[in-house]
Structure 1
Amino acid sequence: MNIIAVDIGATNLRVALFKDNKKTKELKIQTPKDNPSFLSKSIINMIYELSPDRDFNSIGIGSIGPLDLKKGIIELAPNLGLKNIPLKDPIYEEFRKEVYIANDAMAAVWAEKTLGDGKDKDDLAYITMSSGIGVGAIVDGNLMVGRRGNAHELGHAVVKFDSNFICGCGRLGHWEAYAGGKNIPKVAYEMAKEWKGEKTQGYNLAINGNLTPEKLYDLARKNDEFSKSLVDLLNIVHAAGISTLIAAYDPEVIYIGGSIYLYNEDLIKPYLLKYIPKYSALGVPEIKMCSFGDDQVLYGAASIAINPPITIKKFNILK
């Protein structure tokens, strides 16, 4: 079976051809941000480049959101600054192939269940720690989707109800507002304004709004006092968010991916295991790195097309 898999991220757009559950070819460009219609046009062009003869069975898309699966659109992409981005209709009209759409983290957890480490598990969750915070969950073997496709949007769970930190979605106090990669420089700046310790390299970058996630974790690993304190704060935020996830879904295992976690597990996982018990009334499930690394969402997109869950299929069946 040949499948086209699409990973729509806040930074990159990736399209790959899968044969027999394995990625064989891939294209990557910067995600278009200028016009809502450019995204589907770019995907169509990339599909033709990968498969000029249209020799594939169906198309799976894992996308940032929130989504409206009834309409087949990205309803809001805060990290792109765009709304109401059409996906399903233009791609279906072009290829007349089945098109299945899911949130990227929702697709990623389905990859674990159908192709990865979670094949023998019926209760599992996935978290992406990247530009934003995304969550996907499977409960009793069923992929959680919801009425429009947003039952997983726990990156927008409130971790501090009296916060002034504005998330990209425009609301206050969200997990992503603190720990999403795009928001970390703002959090660092606010922390630097109140900092009483040594004015380290991390502090100097933060007070000028330039402490990126990459620099933050690199400096924390080098024992920079300010950076270590900020990483500790972010780990507490993650623990609070994950405790909400545990209360919502009661998973046996949580898989984590996304660039921030994949490259910094040593500075995150031990502290999640330390802090989650302070917040979770249901204990701490097993926490593992995701099975497919940087390709997790691509494998997720492929998995929803290879073996469409009924909760996705109800939205994505052909007209």
Structure 2
Amino acid sequence: MAYIAVDLGGTNIRAARCAEDGRILARAQTPTRPEEGVEAVIARIIGAIEAVWTDEEPVEAIGVGAPGPLDPQTGVVLTAPNLGWENVPLADRLRERFRVPCFVGNDANLAALGEWKYGAGRGHEHLVYLTISTGIGGGVITHGVLLEGAHGLGAELGHIVLEAREGPRCGCGRTGCLEALASGTAIARMAREAWARGEPVPWPDPSAVTAADVAEAATQGDPVAAVIMDRAAFYLGVGIASFWHIFNPTLIILGGGVMKTGDWFLEKIRAYARDRAMTSDYITPIVRAALGDDVGVLGALAYAQMRLPLSKAL
């Protein structure tokens, strides 16, 4: 028996045919091109699935990780700004085409599930996962169960508010979210702000600077970049200390493009988190994610494996 797993991103759609033990048997990838509209993107998702589908072995189910907010019970993507989607019944569309069960979950939640089952979180029944990239997403496993909340909107860890009065505006419309203070987008914004203040930034075109540029400059010893990265690490550490206190996990896993920065950045995050832990009893390891670019599809696989028995019981 096999599963089909799909990672729906704003830039690329990844699909994989997976064995039950997590082995990836076949892969396909295609550009998302959301500007071409909902139907074009769904057609590309179907095409990617068809590219890895085989009639030689039965497919148990399809799992899809998608940006949200979404309703995991109905598989409807409620709103996905980076795709331009609103109220898209993705699960129904894929079930109609492939005639197998289809489950759609929040991509960050599914990444947490994938790391728990197949990656850095194996052996832990309580963990918190953060993906630090363009935005900041999160996922929580407690007692070996994915926390989704009453309507599938749980574990929006990037939107805990750390600077309610003076913080920058977040993409969600609120002020001072962790995402607005420490994501890749926030790091690039802070670099542009430093340039606007007249600080001696090392980038020839600050309007095009990326978080990777800032991290590289900090690694090379640039003082402006170092201050920016330290500020991001500070807020990540503060957020993680809060997650320790709220969820009492045995492990914190950090993934996403920003975490490709050197070990010095991870050490800063650890230090700031430790400084803000209520007692040493809360302090647990903070580690990098292990699955890399496969976290999306393996999370979708784990989600389909989790949901399928529950659906059969109904």
Fold agreement, TM-score > 0.5: yes
Counterpart in 2 of 1:272? 269
Counterpart in 1 of 2:117? 114
> Which AA in structure 1 matches 2:31?
Q
Counterpart in 2 of 1:214? 212
- What is the 5 A alignment of 1:8-87? 8-20=8-20, 21-34=22-35, 35-51=37-53, 53=55, 55-87=58-90
Deviations 1:153-206 (A, max 9, x none): 11111121113522222222111122222343223222333465xx1314x543
Counterpart in 2 of 1:238? 236
> Which AA in structure 1 matches 2:7?
D
Deviations 1:73-115 (A, max 9, x none): 2222233444333311101111121112221221122223323
Deviations 1:124-173 (A, max 9, x none): 11111112111111112221011121111111111211135222222221
Check the 8 A contact 2:72/2:103 in 1, yes or no.
no
SS at match of 2:287: strand
Q: What is the rounded CA distance, in whole Å, between the counterparts of 1:78 and 1:281 in structure 2?
A: 37
Q: What is the rounded CA distance, in whole Å, between the counterparts of 2:71 and 2:313 in structure 1?
A: 16
Relative to structure 1, is the Cα distance of residues 266 and 285 closer, same or farther in structure 2, using a 3 angstrom cutoff? same
Relative to structure 1, is the Cα distance of residues 163 and 72 closer, same or farther in structure 2, using a 3 angstrom cutoff? farther
Q: What is the rounded CA distance, in whole Å, between the counterparts of 2:194 and 2:165 in structure 1?
A: 16
What TM-score does the superposition give when structure 1 sets the normalisation length?
0.88
What TM-score does the superposition give when structure 2 sets the normalisation length?
0.89
**Which structure has more RCO (C-alpha within 8 Å, separation ≥ 6)?**
1
SS at match of 1:277: helix
SS at match of 1:182: helix
User: Percent identity over the alignment?
Assistant: 30
Relative to structure 1, is the Cα distance of residues 32 and 163 closer, same or farther in structure 2, using a 3 angstrom cutoff? farther
Q: 1:88 aligns with which of 72, 88, 91?
A: 91
Structure 2: segments with no counterpart, 5+ residues:
none
Q: What is the rounded CA distance, in whole Å, between the counterparts of 1:80 and 1:49 in structure 2?
A: 22
Q: What is the rounded CA distance, in whole Å, between the counterparts of 2:133 and 2:62 in structure 1?
A: 24
Relative to structure 1, is the Cα distance of residues 191 and 159 closer, same or farther in structure 2, using a 3 angstrom cutoff? farther
Relative to structure 1, is the Cα distance of residues 309 and 92 closer, same or farther in structure 2, using a 3 angstrom cutoff? closer
Relative to structure 1, is the Cα distance of residues 56 and 120 closer, same or farther in structure 2, using a 3 angstrom cutoff? same
Counterpart in 1 of 2:5? 5
Q: What is the rounded CA distance, in whole Å, between the counterparts of 1:120 and 1:38 in structure 2?
A: 41
Superposed CA RMSD:
2.4
Q: What is the rounded CA distance, in whole Å, between the counterparts of 1:162 and 1:213 in structure 2?
A: 25
Q: What is the rounded CA distance, in whole Å, between the counterparts of 2:119 and 2:156 in structure 1?
A: 22
- What is the 5 A alignment of 1:181-196? 181-194=184-197, 196=199
Number of residue-to-residue matches in the alignment: 309
Q: What is the rounded CA distance, in whole Å, between the counterparts of 2:91 and 2:197 in structure 1?
A: 47
